[in-house]
Amino acid sequence: MAGKPDVLLIESGVQAIDKPRRQRLDEKYNLIQYDCDSVEEFIQRMKPEGPYSSIQAIVRLGWHKVGRFANLRPFAAEVIPHYPPSLKVVSCSGHGYDAADTVAMAKRGIWYCNTPNACTEAVANTATWLVLDTFRYLTYAQLSARNDWATSRELGLLADDPGGKALGIVGLGDIGLAVAKKCEAAYGMKVHYHGPRRKPEAEKTLAHGATFHEILDEMIRVVDCIVLAAPYTKETYHMLSTPQFALAKPSGLRVVNIARGKMIDEEALLEAMEKKQVVGVGLDVHDTEPGVNPKLRDNWMVTLLPHIGVCSHSAWSSFEQQCWDNLEAYFETGKPLTPVHDLSGPE
């Protein structure tokens, strides 16, 4: 093992394993399997002379929300001060990185890499289906088919089609743009979007372009369905709440969230549903997940998923590839491929 960099692997029970590549990696790196029962044990092992005291990289692979380490937060603010000085790069599967204090790591000279675009297709497909469900109430229809056929007739004057309707995307990144393209092509929806800046090049990739709204409230006034696809930050906490729902068209607003649950004030959402300001809801993420608001859970006109938008073999394969690509790029060039913060110069 002499001369090989120590690389700590945190593996999920759900992942895609590229066996030939892992065999090659094993020749280049000392791959150490993480097997701690607690964060406290992790911290102890990183102390001088501990088994993790000389790790130069951490690679977290697969689906974080399943298996033995589902609740592990190895990149949280309170853990980072205990990292050994040798640690220089973290390569973590996943598009979002709100569970990692990437700024604190950057201040210590540690590259943090996510896997952007790796799960775009899987999550965008989920969002596109949720958009349709908020118009057609297919979750309720399935309940009727399984239990009481006659109740499905209640949908007669409620269900609608999304064709020609205005779709508002919050966050026109990889996933948001993919959702926009799919909904435009499949449903014939007109695309609007909100974000920190206009994206003319992204607009050009849509057959009929898109309308940019610098102010979220202005977009809400004109759209029929809104999809949250932006990163979760302190600025996006409860970005949809009572004031926003009150701006809905008289025909009502459909709400889809495939980003993070805390971006919606769920109590305000329930109130808006009672007032018919919100007339369709599709949620893959929840404010207190794995808990689900019981008032939402018991309403079959609402479509609920257990944060499985990413759940696809294509996503696991892309996670595997990009995580190892980042690791190898760092050790070969001194810079990984998809760092959240560029440590090589001013951002």
- Known catalytic membership, residue 260: yes
Number of Cβ atoms within 10 Å of the Cβ of 289: 16
> Where in the chain does DSSP place strands (E)?
6-11, 30-33, 55-61, 89-92, 111-113, 166-170, 190-194, 211-213, 225-228, 253-257, 278-283, 302-304
Query: Distance (Å, rounded) from C-alpha 179 to C-alpha 229?
Result: 9
Catalytic hit among 136, 154, 289, 341: 289
Chain center to CA of 248 = 26
Residue 146 CB neighbour total at 10 angstroms: 8
Among 316, 317, 289, smallest CA distance to 305 is for: 289
Which is catalytic among the residues 184, 213, 307, 320?
307
Q: Is there a catalytic annotation at residue 238?
A: no
SS3 89: strand
Q: Given 45, 64, 95, 260, which residue is catalytic?
A: 260
Contact in structure between 62 and 119 (CB atoms under 8 Å): no
Between CA 280 and CA 236 the distance in angstroms is: 21
In whole angstroms, what is the distance from residue 41 CA to residue 72 CA?
12
Residue 307 among the catalytic residues: yes
d(CA 344, CA 341): 9
**Counting Cβ atoms within 10 Å, is residue 98 exposed (0-12), middle (13-18) or buried (19+)?**
middle
The residues annotated as belonging to the active site are 260, 289, 307
